[in-house]
């Protein structure tokens, strides 16, 4: 039998459900997210809340007591239909978008229950789907070498591209982390750089490989020196030929225009695959998962251990070739 205090607590939560609107709860949730997470994470979750808000408005659902498991299930179905890829090659992106959006909605529902906005923990009815193909296959060293060799080192932009690609592959940086670097973050005397704009909001120091250091020095001395600058952008490491800060859109546009079409292998190359390739090649070469975790800036080692799955086929092949028990049993 419930005590008077428990009954009163449940009654209070039920009253909250009727008193507070979903719009008010979402605003409180986003204020909490903005105060405790990075701007990138906040924007991602605000985007999901906007999509959920449009769906609920369409269904004329205003108060929290109208938010039921059935409504959440309907949202998931409608969302899946909305994100159904039009082209087969978009399957991975669509799957990842669905996974991320569902995770964000689930965080919102957990927040509602933890803050006593809702009586029932509605997050139990929302399960993020596993994102198919979330981790792209690494590029082979041969493909990477062919890609990088396409950079025209006789031009400032070509030399800049080569230095940028080398940094992504050599240090395992996320494209956004590399683009946010400032000149003061780079110390080529000790071959180290400081990553401040990281996904998890924690700064980390990353060693720079000799090859990356070589092309960074060439970029600074032979290319960046001649690029136009402005007081607003001169502090940034990567500049365009117009003197503005290099953007992700600009790099991706150049990748599509100048590099992908010329690759003889036909392998789809992306900036982020350089990070995957760096991690996988390090683990294949014998680096510890803990060291790779530090390099990549993963908060949880579980994220890094995903890369070990990429080397399982190689391990199986090695066992078949070298293990004393590799031969089949003979009677």
For 53-82, what is each residue's pLDDT tens digit? 999 999 999 888 888 999 998 888 887 665
Question: pLDDT value at position 86?
Answer: 42
**For residue 287, what pLDDT is reported?**
85
For β-strands 186-187 and 204-207, DSSP reports them as unpaired
What pLDDT, on the 0 to 100 scale, is given for residue 82? 56
Quote the tokens at residue 87: 């082209």
| Digit-coded pLDDT (tens) for 248-289 | 889 989 998 999 999 887 778 889 899 999 988 988 888 888
pLDDT at 98: 79
Residue with tokens 């999509």: 51
30 or 315, which is more confident? 30
Catalytic, 275? Answer yes
The predicted-structure confidence for 274-284, as pLDDT tens digits, reads as follows: 999 998 898 88
H-type alpha helices, the chain: 4-19, 22-36, 39-58, 69-82, 91-114, 141-149, 156-171, 175-179, 210-218, 248-254, 271-284, 289-296, 301-305, 312-322
Higher pLDDT, 158 or 329: 158
In this model, does residue 26 exceed pLDDT 60? yes
Summarize pLDDT for 175-189 with one digit per residue, the tens: 989 999 999 999 999
- 42 classed as catalytic: no
What is the pLDDT, as a whole number, of residue 322?
Answer: 59
Catalytic residue among 199, 214, 218, 260: 199
Per-residue pLDDT, 134: 52
pLDDT reported for residue 29: 94
| Position 3 pLDDT exceeds 50 | no
Q: What angle do CA 32, 200, 197 make, to 5 degrees?
A: 105
pLDDT (0 to 100) of residue 83: 56
How far apart CA 309 and CA 276 sit, in angstroms, is 12
pLDDT of residue 220: 96
Measured from the Cβ of residue 179, the count of other Cβ atoms closer than 10 Å reads 20
Tokens 């909250």 correspond to: 16
- Per the CB < 8 A criterion, the answer to whether 314 and 284 are in contact is yes
For residue 307, pLDDT beyond 80: no
Does residue 326 register a pLDDT over 60? no
| 35 φψ region: left (φ > 0), alpha (ψ -120 to 50), beta (else) | alpha
Q: What is the pLDDT of residue 89?
A: 43
The one catalytic residue in 79, 174, 254, 273 is: 174
Give every strand in the sheet of 186-187, ordered side by side: 186-187, 192-195, 204-207
For the residues 141-161, what does the mean pLDDT come to? 95
Q: How does residue 320 score in pLDDT terms, banded at 50, 70 and 90? A: low
The first and second tokens of residue 173, run together, are 């940086």
What pLDDT, on the 0 to 100 scale, is given for residue 117? 85
Domains in the chain with CATH codes? 4-125 (1.10.150), 141-318 (1.10.443.10)
Does residue 307 carry a catalytic annotation?
Answer: yes
pLDDT on residue 330? 45
pLDDT above 50 (res 88): no
State mean pLDDT over 168-172: 93
Binned at pLDDT 50, 70 and 90, residue 31 comes out as very high
Rounded-to-integer distance, Cα 23 and Cα 210, Å: 53
Q: What is the pLDDT of residue 321?
A: 65
Candidate list 272, 299, 309, 326, residue with the active-site label: 272
* pTM of the complete model: 0.62
Q: Which candidate in 106, 224, 276, 298 is catalytic?
A: 298
**Has 258 been annotated as catalytic?**
no
Catalytic residue among 162, 275, 276, 281: 275
The per-residue pLDDT of the chain, averaged, comes to 81
Q: 59 or 127, which is more confident? A: 59
User: CB neighbours of 318 closer than 8 A, spacing ≥ 6?
Assistant: none
pLDDT of residue 11: 45
């Amino acid at each position: 039998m419930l005590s008077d205090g428990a009954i009163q607590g449940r009654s209070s939560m039920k009253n909250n459900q009727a008193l507070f609107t979903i719009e008010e709860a979402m605003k409180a949730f986003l204020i909490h997210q903005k105060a405790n997470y990075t701007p990138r994470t906040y924007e991602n979750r605000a985007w999901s809340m906007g999509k959920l808000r449009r769906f609920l408005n369409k269904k004329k659902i205003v108060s929290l007591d109208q938010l039921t498991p059935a409504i959440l299930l309907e949202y998931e179905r409608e969302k899946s239909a909305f994100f159904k890829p039009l082209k087969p090659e978009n399957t991975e992106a669509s799957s990842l978008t669905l996974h991320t959006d569902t995770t964000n909605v689930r965080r919102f529902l957990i927040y509602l229950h933890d803050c006593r906005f809702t009586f029932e923990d509605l997050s139990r009815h929302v399960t993020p789907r596993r994102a198919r193909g979330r981790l792209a296959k690494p590029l082979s060293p041969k493909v990477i070498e062919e890609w990088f060799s396409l950079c025209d080192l006789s031009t400032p932009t070509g030399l800049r591209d080569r230095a940028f690609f080398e940094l992504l592959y050599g240090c395992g940086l996320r494209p956004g982390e590399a683009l946010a670097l400032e000149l003061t973050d780079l110390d080529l005397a000790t071959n180290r750089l400081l990553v401040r704009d990281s996904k998890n909001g924690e700064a980390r120091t990353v060693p720079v490989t000799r090859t990356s250091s070589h092309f960074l020095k060439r970029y600074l001395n032979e290319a960046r020196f001649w690029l136009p600058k402005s007081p607003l952008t001169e502090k940034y490491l990567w500049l365009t030929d117009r003197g503005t800060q290099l953007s992700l859109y600009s790099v991706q546009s150049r990748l599509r225009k100048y590099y992908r079409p010329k690759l003889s292998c036909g392998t789809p190359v992306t900036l982020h695959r350089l990070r995957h390739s760096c991690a996988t090649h390090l683990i294949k070469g014998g680096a510890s998962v803990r060291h790779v975790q530090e390099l990549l800036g993963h908060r949880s080692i579980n994220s890094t251990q995903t890369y070990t799955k990429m080397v399982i086929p190689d391990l199986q092949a090695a066992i078949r070739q070298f293990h004393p028990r590799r031969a089949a049993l003979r009677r």
